[in-house]
A = this chain, B = another copy of it.
């Protein structure tokens, strides 16, 4: 059991929250099977495999939602919990208590940031389509562009600078899974809000340096150039609706 290949369960066709896990697995050099896609590639009903896991009452707890990592007999859900576990197992986080806690806290601040980025296009509720809440989305995205995104990005810039004026990492000691996640968030924000992103990041040069360093890492670059990497689209967290990006 413990030597089996890791399995990732996530919705197909979008990067979504699964991408934070894929980037960590790729960077750590850990091979994994993306179960839904693998079954689809074999002509099977891949989504059914995911729904089956969500309905299993023998798991403690049954996962509420994907991503779900099945590794070494454990079934782990929630991005931040999976990354905390992978960070400890595969050297993607500090091994001391304070460092591990630091990474986990930063990841949860990113989690909040990601949820707010998502809610720019779904402020009325995740059970409604974007087209049913465009008016609300205009209000929420204005708040995000003018107040929330600058606040979060300014915070992360400050965290990086605390490690030195030329630093390009978030956690003491260097590269960690949080850097991978932040690079992906920056990538997503640049896709969804190209105009606003250009403005925000004038104030956050260290975050741009961090992103560029992360995406130049050999295994990360190889993964992002591969067929396993799904591009952003209008089914995920980061969606490009020009009307939400403010005025030129």
Q: Residues of A with Cβ closer than 8 Å to B?
A: 57-58, 60-64, 74, 76-78, 80-81, 85, 97-99, 101-102, 104-106, 108-109, 112, 115, 119, 123-128, 133, 136, 139-140, 142-144, 147-148, 155, 158-159, 162, 170-172
- Establish whether residues A60 and B147, one from each chain, have CB atoms under 8 Å apart when the complex forms: no
Minimum CB–CB distance from A58 to chain B (whole Å) comes to 8
A-B contact pairs, 24 of them (CB 8 A): A58-B162, A61-B102, A61-B105, A61-B106, A61-B159, A61-B162, A62-B155, A62-B158, A62-B159, A62-B162, A63-B105, A64-B109, A80-B80, A115-B115, A119-B123, A124-B140, A125-B139, A125-B143, A125-B148, A126-B148, A127-B147, A127-B148, A128-B143, A133-B139
Complexed CA–CA distance, A81 and B108 (Å): 9
- Residues of B close to A133: CB separation below 8 A: 139
Secondary structure class of chain A's binding surface, majority of residues: helix
Complexed CA–CA distance, A81 and B103 (Å): 11
Complexed CA–CA distance, A99 and B74 (Å): 10
Closest 5 CB pairs of A and B: A125-B143, A127-B147, A78-B108, A124-B139, A123-B123
> A60-B162, A64-B105, A125-B140 known; 16 other A-B pairs, CB under 8 Å?
A57-B158, A57-B162, A58-B162, A61-B102, A63-B105, A64-B112, A78-B109, A81-B105, A124-B136, A124-B139, A124-B143, A125-B144, A125-B147, A136-B136, A136-B139, A136-B140
Task: Kindly name the residue among A61, A101, A104 whose own CB sees the greatest number of chain B CB atoms within 10 A.
Answer: A61
Complexed CA–CA distance, A140 and B133 (Å): 10
